[in-house]
């Protein structure tokens, strides 16, 4: 039996816009600081906390300069 689907935007929190998935593995000591920081600041998720931290760092131009990397030749 087929069921009618409801609206995809029915209920829940509002969309945060288009996103890309990234998997990051933090060392345990840093992860504990991240979780504690997100909790104490009242963020609803670790993801939103990390996004806010990175956004603020980029806006403040705190991101490190790109490392000089050796260019490898392109192969056919």
Q: Which residues of the chain have pLDDT under 50?
A: 1, 3
- Domain membership flag for residue 36: yes
pTM for the predicted model, two decimal places: 0.63
pLDDT of residue 2: 52
- Domain membership flag for residue 34: yes
- Overall number of domains in the chain: 1
Tell me what the pLDDT averaged over the chain comes to.
83
- Domain membership flag for residue 46: yes
- Domain membership flag for residue 55: yes
| 35-59 per-residue burial string, b: 16 or more CB within 10 A, e: under 16 | eeebeeeebeeeeebbeeeeeeeee
pLDDT of residue 6: 53
pLDDT of residue 5: 52
**Residue span of the structural domain in which 40 resides:** 28-59
pLDDT of residue 1: 47
pLDDT of residue 11: 76
pLDDT of residue 8: 59
């Amino acid at each position: 039996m087929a069921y009618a689907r409801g609206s995809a935007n029915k209920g829940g929190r509002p969309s945060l816009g288009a996103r890309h998935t990234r998997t990051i593995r933090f060392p345990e000591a840093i992860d504990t600081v991240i979780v504690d920081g997100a909790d104490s600041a009242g963020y609803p998720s670790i993801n939103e906390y990390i996004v806010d931290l990175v956004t603020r760092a980029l806006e403040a131009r705190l991101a490190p300069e790109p490392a000089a990397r050796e260019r490898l030749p392109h192969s056919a």
